[in-house]
Amino acid sequence: MSDKKNRRVERARQRERKQLLQKLVIATLLVVAVAAGVVMMINSKSTTKDSAELYKNQPMIGQADAPVKIVEFGDFKCPACKRFTIRDYPQIKKELIDTGIASFYFVNFPFLGSDSTTAGLAVESVFAQKPAAFWDYYKAIYDAQGDERTNWATTDKLIEIAEQTNIAVDVNRLRQDIEKETQMQQVEDDLALAKKYRITSTPTLLVNGEKIKFEDFDDIKQAVLKARDEQKAKDEAKK
Ligand code: CA
């Protein structure tokens, strides 16, 4: 073969190698892009915390289709929960729940003492008997809250609170339900939820599934209105 021919063959080979390399690069990029897409899909699934499990079988007040869902994780023995229920909750009810902006859920996170669980059993029993009576009983227990360091949330005390509040439940049945721990599964389910959402203190609020930091009602309102706007934008995008 002449030198000229040799060079031509060599150039042709180089061209082929270059094309093959280009094809390989494109194929690799495609594989990487698909893999990245899959990872993003998995991530977006696992970070979507605002799932139905958070609200299932929980006491709720407000409109079920409100754009924002607030979840309180609370312990009836926790003084900060009492403060929240007496000071902030009425404003939440008036400005956010009654206006249709938010619905409000309560989940037990009884961690302060064994009588936290007794109180949890009591509210779950009232909820099972008469869901509508839940919120009056919830407030009444916080109103009657004793010293955090004592085991004040006894069955007798919880029955006394139910009687004094005149909630529309059969108190004999309520006593039986507390003593026989009829609703223990509900309390345990709540605890599992608290663990899953990494709740470490009370009261903790989730706004559309996201934990928020708050000092007072204004912080809560701001978070709720922001969540409402985000939800609105999401709904618009779907149209
Ligand atoms: Ca519950």
Distance 141 CA to ligand 1 centre (A): 16
Distance 191 CA to ligand 1 centre (A): 9
Place of tokens 């009261």: 203
Would you give the end-to-end CA distance of the chain in angstroms?
70
Calpha distance 207→228 (Å, rounded): 10
Amino acid letter at 146? G
Distance 184 CA to ligand 1 centre (A): 10
- What would the pLDDT profile of 192-235 be if each residue is shown by its tens digit? 999 999 999 999 999 999 999 999 999 999 999 999 999 999 99
Distance 188 CA to ligand 1 centre (A): 9
Element (H, E) at 11: helix 3-47
Distance 98 CA to ligand 1 centre (A): 22
Distance 106 CA to ligand 1 centre (A): 7
Distance 13 CA to ligand 1 centre (A): 72
Place of tokens 């990872």: 39
Distance 190 CA to ligand 1 centre (A): 5
- What would the pLDDT profile of 44-98 be if each residue is shown by its tens digit? 444 445 689 999 999 999 999 999 999 999 999 999 999 999 999 999 999 999 9
Distance 123 CA to ligand 1 centre (A): 8
Predicted TM-score (pTM) of this structure: 0.79
Distance 74 CA to ligand 1 centre (A): 10
Within 10 Å of residue 3's Cβ, how many Cβ atoms?
7
Distance 100 CA to ligand 1 centre (A): 23
Cβ–Cβ under 8 Å, residues 74 and 41: no
Cβ–Cβ under 8 Å, residues 70 and 205: yes
